Structure 1
């Protein structure tokens, strides 16, 4: 498609915008949601990004992440250190990919077009989208459980002991789908509704989790019995065997956001604002939630003689019905806050990118919601080993290869320079071969196979899917990122079309 466009405008702080989007509006790869955000609408502050991360990190799967490490044998200190280190590591590719969103005002799938091609970007976008659907389903299941217990406390055993359908009380299924419908109604109102929700929900949720921890500490007789609880793994070989795959799982927990933070940073008021908001928001909030989680779960070993890693189940054991209701309302707020920001916004853009003229942001959100049910999330969180080593580990390795390609392409190959208008048109700089850049595809496939080809946990064969790759699986995220990064750079061709025009 031939087109004439005015030169892009560049602000003092280096942010770029198209002075006229008219020439690209008729492109089949353009719609209003995927269009670059005008600079005057990039208004998110440091606090908005900090609150976003508070809202996304303050959630039940984050809690389950730390609690699961205690459940598989770590003590409170081992679990806390593992999670903190994992979040510091994943923050690096997250900030590197966030830069493009703030500079150009573009979402993740449009950013990916620069390196995968206009059409090839759908590979990266849909990989990320389908995983988000799984997370949406997990969060919605947790929220449905909370609603089920709240109503049960008020309505009695007739509700909680209702006849079963597909292995669960029919009232639990009703709670699950009611919570699903509530979230779909919010996302239908658009991104501004998500931003407002993030700003006020996170502090309330944090207060609820602090209260739950305080109750367990009181019942356990203070911190002393918890801190003295020995690790079942010790600090020897048994611990280090578990540490590496656990660390990869911690990194993988936010591997999705390490790709698609441009979906949010495109609204940023500047690079410093988005970077400091994330630096202050992610590691601190995740470490805080991890500390509450490991102390609470370790406390349940003292109080109940077993590690209760599910906070919904733990809250249901509170002595006071009012406290149960308040606690679970906090769970519901946490789940909505995280689910909309982390697991609906981004795949909505991703699905919209696949067919921009037919799938809007809202329709993309509805597709996410439907697939989140189809994936049967109740099975993914049935066991901490499946949750951490199979679910997190496998998808983390795949997405790490995509992250490697994006970081190599944007920072090394393109040196942060993109031709903004060409990201939306055929036969321009990013058309490559029929809309696909085969180098990025090959790098992603090689990185993914090396990272997860040896998968051997949960539903995978004990000897690994590809036995000789089994040793690499315990380091899946690092392997996937490094392989994607290096292979993409190694496949550079001898033309200048990719870096200059």
Structure 2
């Protein structure tokens, strides 16, 4: 049986509900590792309830990319049952690390980069934080561009504008750039007001978006006189030998879609009233919502097949076919709210905290959010999604493998080795038990390197498809593992980190005396 870490020496207090906070007078003064945004949230300010977490997931799941996930699987040859099954299973699987890493939030009130200090070290935690931040910045830019396109298309329908006749800048009509930039400003303005403003926005955005999706289904079913022929179309893969080579990469890709949040979910759960709120809120919010959205996507697209003679997978393009301006305006508002909801929660909160963690003295949450917004523009997101199939599946698979590796280390450290017992003051203190070797834990770095190579070393591009990886894989003999990147990365790093750290934690050798 793995021994637990020795109990903290002091400087923290625990209330009757098991919530831990810094004791009076124990607030760290080292500006290299502490600011008001990285501090543990006091117990009195941990106010999010079950509904708040459910609303958070409803708001994040109901976005244009998640709508098209099911359609992408059908395009690969699955029928609607196989597509919905794959998405439902993926979200049940990713829920487990989500709940495990989320546990530290309500208990200690700390964000993801501070939790990572326990395993990677006070300075080493910047490695997983910056990886997570880079991914989020990329997604923020992509989602903002998609949202701007949605506004552009729907406004064109409302005003009857012939966008093709407008002067083009960079190959795009200038009103599209205006929509993109206005949408960018609106998002930054909301998140700049802080996490409580985001909570209130998610609370009312969630039911609004659900109603919008159902309205779209009712409208399409009415026009189609039924749900169309798609439900009756057989799978091109069957359930035999042709299905599994597609299923497992697709499953890992679907897990990769939310693997980013499985790391930084403490950024949200740190505001939870207790474990019950975050466990029930996430369990009721994530798998159910994603599955429902997949079903709605397939059913609505089925109706479009019957009405227009072709499957219209993009909800913006479909809404643009509405006959009335009122319908177009309603669709415009729904797309606007849905995209803002997911983009702020999934792609701005994390890098805002991660960048603040990099230089706490100079960057706070608001400054981090602004930096995220700027990076989201300068990466040219309109270029990244020019080849959406290659980008989405390659991107999700590769990123999922790396982030699964980090998740394995966090789970091993917090649950297996420390049994959820952390020394809160030492998470902010140079020379404490998480200082390791000058702020870096080489064991976590080794586990990350090995797990990462195993997870993504075999990444490849399918034959006949133009992509960033060689057909035989970056490391050919690892190619068979590439279809299971997230699971391989998580499992390998979890086992290796546990083995490397077991004697260290058992002997209590984490303070300064341990130099390597």
TM-score by length of 2: 0.92
Give the match's secondary structure for 2:501: coil
Tell me, yes or no, if structure 1 residue 449 matches structure 2 residue 460: no
Residue aligning to 1:340: 344
Q: Structure 1 residue 292: deviation in Å?
A: 0.5
Tell me, yes or no, if structure 1 residue 128 matches structure 2 residue 132: yes
Residue aligning to 1:108: 112
Q: Structure 1 residue 320: deviation in Å?
A: 2.3
Q: Structure 1 residue 402: deviation in Å?
A: 0.1
Residue aligning to 1:373: 377
Residue aligning to 2:478: 469
Q: How does 1:164-179 map to 2 (within 5 A)?
A: 164-179=168-183
Identify which of 470, 477, 492 aligns with 1:483.
492
Bigger Cα displacement from structure 2, 339-348 vs 144-153: 144-153
Work out the CA distance in 1 between the residues paired with 2:60 and 2:25.
33
Q: Structure 1 residue 131: deviation in Å?
A: 0.5
Residue aligning to 1:52: 56
Work out the CA distance in 2 between the residues paired with 1:6 and 1:463.
54
Work out the CA distance in 2 between the residues paired with 1:372 and 1:211.
32
CA contact (8 A) 2:158 2:328 kept: no
Q: Structure 1 residue 497: deviation in Å?
A: 3.3
How has the CA–CA distance of structure 1 residues 45 and 21 changed in structure 2, closer, same or farther, with 3 Å as cutoff?
farther
CA contact (8 A) 1:146 1:312 kept: yes
CA contact (8 A) 1:70 1:307 kept: no
Q: Structure 1 residue 338: deviation in Å?
A: 1.0
CA contact (8 A) 1:72 1:384 kept: no
Give the match's secondary structure for 2:138: helix
CA contact (8 A) 2:11 2:26 kept: no
Work out the CA distance in 2 between the residues paired with 1:476 and 1:498.
33
Residue aligning to 2:224: 220
Identify which of 291, 300, 304 aligns with 1:300.
304
Runs of 4+ in 1 over 4 A off after TM superposition: 498-501
How has the CA–CA distance of structure 1 residues 238 and 377 changed in structure 2, closer, same or farther, with 3 Å as cutoff?
farther
Work out the CA distance in 2 between the residues paired with 1:48 and 1:237.
43
How has the CA–CA distance of structure 1 residues 322 and 116 changed in structure 2, closer, same or farther, with 3 Å as cutoff?
same
Cα RMSD of the aligned pairs, angstroms, is 1.9
Bigger Cα displacement from structure 2, 320-329 vs 154-163: 154-163
Residue aligning to 2:5: none
How has the CA–CA distance of structure 1 residues 351 and 148 changed in structure 2, closer, same or farther, with 3 Å as cutoff?
same
Residue aligning to 1:492: 501
Which digits, 9 at most, give the CA deviation of each residue in 1:345-366, with x for residues without a partner?
1110000000000001001001
Work out the CA distance in 1 between the residues paired with 2:318 and 2:471.
33
Residue aligning to 2:469: 460
How has the CA–CA distance of structure 1 residues 21 and 473 changed in structure 2, closer, same or farther, with 3 Å as cutoff?
farther
Unpaired segments of 5 or more residues in structure 2? 1-7, 462-466
Give the match's secondary structure for 1:157: coil
How many pairs are equivalent? 498
Which digits, 9 at most, give the CA deviation of each residue in 1:384-433, with x for residues without a partner?
53244211111000100000000001001111110000000111111101
Q: How does 1:79-228 map to 2 (within 5 A)?
A: 79-159=83-163, 161-223=165-227, 225-228=229-232
CA contact (8 A) 1:6 1:20 kept: no
Unpaired segments of 5 or more residues in structure 1? none
Bigger Cα displacement from structure 2, 250-259 vs 368-377: 368-377
Identify which of 410, 429, 433 aligns with 1:429.
433
How has the CA–CA distance of structure 1 residues 228 and 423 changed in structure 2, closer, same or farther, with 3 Å as cutoff?
same
Q: Structure 1 residue 66: deviation in Å?
A: 1.8
Work out the CA distance in 1 between the residues paired with 2:477 and 2:302.
37
CA contact (8 A) 1:91 1:279 kept: yes
Work out the CA distance in 1 between the residues paired with 2:456 and 2:56.
31
Residue aligning to 2:290: 286
